[in-house]
Amino acid sequence: MSQMPKAAERPSFFPPIPESLDKLGIPDILVQDLILRRVFIERTSTLTSLSKTLKLPPYIVEAVFRQLRHRQLIEVLGMVGNDYSFMLSGAGRQLAQERFQMSQYAGPCPVSLSQFHAGVKAQRAKVSVNREKLRKALSDLVLTDALLDQLGPAMISQAALFLYGSTGNGKTSLAERLIRLYEDTVLIPYAIEVDGQIIIHYDPVVHERVEPEDIEPEHDPRWVRCRRPCVIVGGELVPSMLELRMDEASGTYAAPIQMKANNGILVIDDFGRQLIPPRDLLNRWIVPLDRHVDYLMLRYGVKFQIPFDLMVVFATNLDPGSLADEAFLRRIQNKILVEEISPGVFDEILRRVTLARNIPYEQEMADYLRSLCLSGGRTVLRACYPGDICRILVSISQYEERPARLTRTDLERAVKLYFARS
């Protein structure tokens, strides 16, 4: 989906490796519970295994291990090289089972909410682009200079962006490629602790890590190095996706989409087509877009602040004035109309599509396809036509067991299949 930079730059934020248990910034009891639950799951474990799984320095794991051993919650089975092999004692299993009833989480140790705030603030995105850099980053799209010259300042500002215009002209394709303009990486916490509760933050579907797991990190291992995130949601967006979601089975919370998108981009595709009314969504984000903070609530009523440091991109084929009032549109400073394409742009898209599909390109056939697309009462050319129609051409050729080609007969067949007849 996204073409990534040649080489990801190192993140500017490097939280130091914690020197001791009290430097983790989270309650000691939470770390003890994590280790108890992890050993309970593994049955027998080692300090090295716990360090790797819980993303904690070995000396912190050993310090907690000694505390638990002193309380007779752990039994040492022997040595594996220079490492201890151990299991829970009867009292340890009983305590672990009690802790399991509260939470089953036994993954990477979380960071504190204040550490998360500091990390997001330190990694605020800065984009430096000009027309040529934009054209290179978006080289697989055919974009006019006029569009690039609107997009460049919008990306530099990092303020919310409204892409609007009629359907089929590449708003979604453009929006999902904007992440390419970020050439650096960021550190994402695996999980965050709030009031003793754990919020799962790192999501491998959203966060693309850029270092192998077996490489020893130079920073606090509770953070994972990733490319800046790009979260894309469309018609499936519902209000619950903007709030913490409690997983009853594990006793943990899942971070909402805007929290996962911090330091990156959140694309609201087909804006206005969601189950959540557009005005409700916009009202939900008036404060975050203005003040760069959002507020979430734990299930039992504790409310807390999170950073809202991301670029929100709305893509819609509806009239912006019908979706939001003037007060809200004023908060979205960048509004770019993605217009219908010219014949020249249409032909260039067709040339690229045919080249990619090994279909011989002929200018005469491009002219003929344009005339077919503008027949039957249609008055505009759309960027999606060349790719969609070429896919039908390929299907026709596969059906007839021959190479795909641009001919008047095949183009007429493809266009007849593609457009509904009134």
CA distance 289 to 386: 37
pLDDT band at 213 (very low <50, low <70, confident <90, very high): low
Above 60 in pLDDT, residue 9?
no
Task: Enumerate the CATH 1.10.8 domain ranges in the chain, comma separated.
Answer: 343-418
Residue 280 contacts by C-beta under 8 Å, 6 or more apart in sequence? Answer: 239
pLDDT band at 11 (very low <50, low <70, confident <90, very high): low
- The confidence score (pLDDT) of residue 328 equals 76
Mean pLDDT, range 256-261, rounded to an integer: 97
Domain 27-108 architecture: Orthogonal Bundle (1.10)
pLDDT band at 422 (very low <50, low <70, confident <90, very high): low
SS3 30: helix
In angstroms, the Cα distances linking 111 to 12, 171, 291, 345 are: 18, 37, 24, 50
Task: Enumerate the CATH 3.40.50.300 domain ranges in the chain, comma separated.
Answer: 114-123+156-337
With CA atoms as reference, report the closest residue to 187 among 220, 216, 215. 220
- The confidence score (pLDDT) of residue 222 equals 96
Above 80 in pLDDT, residue 173?
yes
**Which CATH code, of 3.30.420.10, 3.40.640.10, 3.40.718.10, 3.40.50.300, is assigned to 114-123+156-337?**
3.40.50.300
Query: pLDDT by residue (tens digit) across 101-146?
Result: 888 999 999 999 999 999 999 999 999 999 999 999 999 999 999 9
With CA atoms as reference, report the closest residue to 191 among 340, 53, 330. 53
Q: What is the enclosing helix (H) or strand (E) of 245?
A: strand 245-247
Mean pLDDT, range 171-185, rounded to an integer: 93
DSSP-assigned letters across all residues of 308-365: --SEEEEEESS-HHHHS-HHHHHH--EEEE-PPPPHHHHHHHHHHHHHHTT----HHH
Query: pTM of the full predicted structure?
Result: 0.88
Compute the 3-state secondary structure of the chain and give helix, strand, coil in percent, each to the nearest 5: 40, 20, 40
CA distance 126 to 64: 41
| Beta strands 293-297; 223-227: pairing state | unpaired
Residue 206 CA, chain-centre distance (Å), reads 4
CA distance 422 to 418: 13
Query: pLDDT by residue (tens digit) across 71-99?
Result: 999 999 998 888 999 999 999 999 999 98
Above 50 in pLDDT, residue 386?
yes
Q: Hey, CA dihedral for 68, 70, 74, 76, is it positive or negative?
A: positive
Above 70 in pLDDT, residue 378?
yes
Task: Enumerate the CATH 1.10.10.10 domain ranges in the chain, comma separated.
Answer: 27-108
pLDDT band at 1 (very low <50, low <70, confident <90, very high): very low
Residue 93 contacts by C-beta under 8 Å, 6 or more apart in sequence? Answer: 40
SS3 168: coil
- The confidence score (pLDDT) of residue 303 equals 96
pLDDT band at 6 (very low <50, low <70, confident <90, very high): very low
Residue 53 CA, chain-centre distance (Å), reads 24
- The confidence score (pLDDT) of residue 63 equals 95
- The confidence score (pLDDT) of residue 329 equals 78
% of the chain surpassing 90 pLDDT:
76
**Which CATH code, of 3.30.70, 1.10.8, 1.10.287, 1.10.3470, is assigned to 343-418?**
1.10.8
